[in-house]
């Protein structure tokens, strides 16, 4: 949880710097958050089922334009690194 979220969750007007200072005094350190996959088991199973269903398709099917789209979409927020407060 970020310092800004902590400040707003308490419903009080506390600066993020004050929250950070208190957390550091309490022996908490800011560390990069663990990356967790956004792909759940059912999504993975659907991908496998699609591939198995279309294994006999000709090569033209796999070269279709639907698979050539290389645009990037941020579905799960921005690309910046996330941090969490962990006890030292």
* 75 lies in some domain: no
* 0.75 exceeded by pTM: no
- Cα dihedral: 28, 33, 80, 42 (round 10): -160
The answer to whether 54 and 34 are in contact (CB under 8 A) is no
* 54 lies in some domain: yes
* 76 lies in some domain: no
Q: How many domains does the chain have?
A: 1
What is the model's pLDDT at position 62?
Answer: 76
* 77 lies in some domain: no
* 56 lies in some domain: yes
* 78 lies in some domain: no
Residue-range definition of the domain harbouring residue 61: 3-69+83-87
What is the model's pLDDT at position 25?
Answer: 92
Hey, is 84 helix, strand or coil? Answer: strand
Rounded Cα gap, residues 87 and 23, in angstroms: 9
The answer to whether 82 and 33 are in contact (CB under 8 A) is yes
What is the mean pLDDT for each group of 10 consecutive residues in the chain (88 residues)?
74 83 89 77 86 86 67 71 78
């Amino acid at each position: 949880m970020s310092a800004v979220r902590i400040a707003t969750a308490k419903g009080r007007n506390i600066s993020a710097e004050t929250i950070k200072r208190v957390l550091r005094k309490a022996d908490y350190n800011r560390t990069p958050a663990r990356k967790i996959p956004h792909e759940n088991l059912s999504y993975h199973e659907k991908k496998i089922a699609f591939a198995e269903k279309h294994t006999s398709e000709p090569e033209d099917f796999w070269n279709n334009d639907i698979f050539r789209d290389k645009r990037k979409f941020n579905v799960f927020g921005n690309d910046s690194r996330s941090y969490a407060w962990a006890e030292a």
